[in-house]
Chains A and B, each alone.
Chain A
């Protein structure tokens, strides 16, 4: 199997992730911070170390402001629903995944907030001036993706963050496709809320994610519950991370995530990024050679991350993807990729595109095999 669906979740994971999770679950997985025994204290310390290593990766000054979540969707919901209140205005973009669009739209549909959705320019970028133009006194939140999960185009978040920082608004970045591949620094990038999954380019297991909460952000918790201390109080403690982390955490997943992040730090993000960029470049340029294939996104791979979307004239994306799977043993993803507005923008709605997303463990040979397969499929089924 050639796995080219790393934008959905990375696979495989570094070996140390599997090994650490296995050992933790067998030998150390007591309920962290709940009881005073050694095992519980040890588990809590592992989770604290995971917070530390993530804080280090993203320049978070206070590691306790790294909140562990279920996945990026969970992080985004905690941020969006924790920040926005009746009468607020929010700004987002048409590039977003449904994990941003749906929470915002439901707040808008319920009459709670007003919402502005920005479109990219013809090159696929959101222009900072466009953001500035629609900001008003009621604008509480600017929520946007760092890179589209369809085109992979990386957005100028630092420029946008900077101008948001000059106002009372908060800047929420969905780093689902970039965390682990592109350096992000919450301070230098002016990010108030950074949401990301643990299971994509951070190499943690599915069921992990995090939200880094800057000090300007005042969030209402939407999940309240046990924290292991302050039990006499009937209200959620305001202390981080407990303010937003009620309930027993996914400790096994979190130690796996920690291992994944450590893998990145040891390997070097530059090296990982360079390898992926090389594969994306190869994939894009080889696909370009095939007639009647249309590739989306940018040819400038320095401004793009892994997802490469394309369509084959005369063929349904879903069918091509199924053929890749069963006749060539290649894992891809077809359809709307949970980003309906992006596909409307690309004029690929509703059939969507075929998406190949290489990861650090893919090789140039695998990309070559995939391109050969697509060439063969096209010659048989396209008109």
Chain B
């Protein structure tokens, strides 16, 4: 039996109240990605008493995660726990009333619908555009509201998306920016306050939605820099009608079809995986080289760029194809690709 007293202060907040708390308690959410953003989202929303929280992440915890990924500990690394499992274990100690489901898997076009079909709200804790567009496809298709968040360096973005009512992610970003213009936490770094702030803003949006205050959702694409304190609100009124969005206007779910997912081929006997992008791009080696030089050794010629970092060696070709050495696991290779090259 739920002891409402643990939520007393939250109920005192007049926008929520006991009614809102009951709604929160009967809600179900999926958090996709349990890193810097995901841990704060999960921690906040489990503490807030969301009835069911599904946490999806395929990664294991590394030492360099602890600087910003709250709730994980050195002990979790020693136990070699997957992020989703470690998060569930820790959060059950904090709130045993919440039903927490840990899913250790990458999110892809075959499983994304299953992971969000039975929830009221989806929260983005991912680190790449491809997965976000996939989430967007699935959420628009199934009519699930979701909250986009993204952070790198000292700066982040968040946007609340209610399919059918607000612009969707592809109304806002038509396609993923080219990799060399996509800084990632593994190349540009990140400071913890940036992810904490953005995740807190996203969690606030979740509380609004789940407590019955959908009308209070922030209608803008909100950008915040914790270092300079520069804030920007991009107004999106009319965007939904103005764009020719393939996803929400034409209901064409290109990411969900799997045809836009990068193709991976394990190279026989080589402990290496080749990744081929579905889109045609031309990489700017100079830009990519200067970005990767910060984290490892890089050399390039007009045909290819080779880099060594984090125990992996990879070769990138001008059209974005890459050979990742040091793994046989296609999913792991994709992680490396999105970390260092970007999608």
A residues neighboring B (CB under 8 Å): 316, 318-319, 322-323, 326-327, 335-336, 338, 340, 349-352, 377, 380-381
Q: A351–B270 Cα gap in the complex (Å)?
A: 6
Pairwise interchain contact B323-A319, C-beta atoms closer than 8 A: yes
Pairwise interchain contact A322-B317, C-beta atoms closer than 8 A: yes
Q: Which residues of A contact B301 (CB under 8 A)?
A: 380-381
Q: Which residues of A contact B268 (CB under 8 A)?
A: 335-336, 338, 340, 350, 352
For residue B302, CB closer than 8 A to chain A, the reply is yes
Query: CB-defined interface of B262-306 with A at 8 Å, one 1/0 digit per residue?
Result: 000001111010100000000000000000000000000111100
For residue B318, CB closer than 8 A to chain A, the reply is yes
Partner of A322, one of B270, B302, B323: B323
For residue B319, CB closer than 8 A to chain A, the reply is yes
Pairwise interchain contact B267-A318, C-beta atoms closer than 8 A: yes
Pairwise interchain contact B304-A318, C-beta atoms closer than 8 A: no
Q: A316–B323 Cα gap in the complex (Å)?
A: 10
- Size class of the B contact interface (CB-based, 8 Å): 10 to 19
Q: Which residues of A contact B315 (CB under 8 A)?
A: 316, 319
Name which residue of chain A comes closest to B320, CB basis: A326
Minimum C-beta distance from A15 to chain B (A): 29
Q: A224–B315 Cα gap in the complex (Å)?
A: 48
Partner of A318, one of B270, B302, B303, B319: B270
B residues neighboring A (CB under 8 Å): 267-270, 272, 274, 301-304, 315, 317-319, 321, 323
Q: Known A-B contacts: A318-B267, A319-B304, A326-B321. Give 17 more (CB < 8 A).
A: A316-B315, A318-B323, A322-B321, A323-B304, A323-B317, A327-B302, A327-B303, A327-B318, A335-B267, A336-B268, A350-B268, A350-B269, A350-B270, A352-B269, A380-B301, A380-B303, A381-B303
Q: Which residues of B contact A351 (CB under 8 A)?
A: 270
Name which residue of chain A comes closest to B318, CB basis: A326
The 6 tightest CB contacts between A and B, nearest first, are A350-B269, A323-B303, A336-B268, A380-B301, A326-B319, A322-B317
Q: A349–B317 Cα gap in the complex (Å)?
A: 24
Q: Which residues of A contact B323 (CB under 8 A)?
A: 316, 318-319, 322
Name which residue of chain B comes closest to A324, CB basis: B303
Listed residue (A318, A327, A338, A349) with the most chain B CB atoms within 10 angstroms of its CB: A318
Q: A265–B268 Cα gap in the complex (Å)?
A: 38
Q: A336–B318 Cα gap in the complex (Å)?
A: 25
